[in-house]
Structure 1
Amino acid sequence: MKKIALINGANLNRLGVREPEIYGSATLKDLENSVVSLGKELGVEVSCFQSNIEGEILNKIAEFADGGFYGAIINPGAFTHTSVALRDAIAGSGLKFVEVHISNIHKREDFRHNSFTAAVCEAQICGMGFEGYLAALRFLAK
């Protein structure tokens, strides 16, 4: 069975509470349940992880890479726009990554238009809400 990680970064634990006009009212748990449920339908094992701490995300990527995972869906949150270390962890992991953003980062503040991580991912999906995560899972499951 193919194993795929779901990694959510900075502030995504606040989904449903933080800026619902941008991110909606559903919670991180709602998101994780949707992705895990679709994974079961697709015959994919999904492991979920969220942290607001960059180093914990880097360690978890290495753990997934060493644990026989095929790929990962990642929403780095603000680390998207700031972290060379995260970019290097993704590039060096050997995993296939899809970067996902709930909002369309290209329609927001200028600093959000730049992603350090997108260039080392297979694809970037943004602006589709939680559906973007499901699209990423379908892509990686193939």
Structure 2
Amino acid sequence: MKKILMLHGVNANMFQFRNPEFYGSVTLDQVNARMQEEAKELGVSLECFQSNHAGDLVDKLHQAFFDQTDAVIINPGGFTNCDCGIKEALALLRVPVIEVHMANLFRKKNGSPQGTTTQVATAVLMGMQIDTYPLALRAAVMLADGKDGK
């Protein structure tokens, strides 16, 4: 069974309190439940993890490397633009990395998103609120099947 790791970065635990134009009113628990439903349908194992601390996410990425995780999905949140440690940990992986954002960063960042983590992602999905996540899981499985994500 394929192992997929889903990482949620800074402030993801506060989705329902953030700008509803970008995030809707969904909670992190609802996102994770939707992802687990999709994982079950796809026949994959999914671990979801959230932290507001970059080092915790780096530790999870290192563990994914040693556990031979088949793909990683990450919503780095505010770490997208400023955390080289997460970027370097993602770059260590030899599996597909799908970066997700519920908001369309091109709209949110006035047309010019600048993501350090995005530079090492295999693919980026954004702008479809909660629907971004199950689509990312499908993409991760598809790319992991090909084992040519990096």
TM-score by length of 2: 0.89
> Runs of 4+ in structure 1 displaced over 2 angstroms?
18-22, 109-112
Aligned to 2:93: 93
Instruction: Give, in whole Å, the separation in 2 of the partners of 1:111 and 1:82.
Output: 18
1:27-46 matched pairs, under 5 angstroms = 27-46=27-46
Following superposition, the deviation at residue 64 of structure 1 comes to 1.6
Say yes or no: does 1:7 pair with 2:4: no
**Aligned pairs for 1:61-72 within 5 A:** 61-72=61-72
2:87 & 2:110 partners in 1: Cα distance?
A: 20
Query: How many angstroms apart in 1 are the aligned matches of 2:109 and 2:92?
Result: 29
Alignment-derived partner of residue 117 in structure 1: 117
- Cα RMSD (Å): 1.4
Displacement after TM superposition at 1:38 (Å): 0.5
**Per the alignment, in what secondary structure is the counterpart of residue 69 of structure 2?**
coil
Alignment TM-score, normalising by the size of structure 1: 0.94
Uncovered stretches (5+) of structure 2, i.e. residues with no partner: 143-150
CA-CA distance at 1:69 after TM superposition = 0.8
Letter in 1 for 2:88: D
How far apart, in 2, do the equivalents of 1:112 and 1:60 lie? 29
Deviations 1:32-57 (A, max 9, x none): 00011100100110000000000110
**SS in structure 2 at match of 1:113:** coil
Contact kept? 1:81, 1:111, Cα under 8 Å: no
* Residue range with higher mean Cα deviation, 16-25 or 107-116: 107-116
Does the 8 A contact of 1:81 with 1:112 survive in 2? no
| Residue 105 (structure 1) aligned with residue 116 (structure 2) | no
**Cα 1:75–1:112 shift into 2, 3 Å:** farther
Identity of aligned residues (%): 35
The 2-side partners of 1:89 and 1:35 are apart by 23
Q: What is the CA distance between 1:111 and its match in structure 2?
A: 9.3
Q: How many residues are treated as equivalent by the alignment?
A: 142
- AA partner of residue 38 (structure 2): L
Paired AA for residue 79 in structure 1:
F
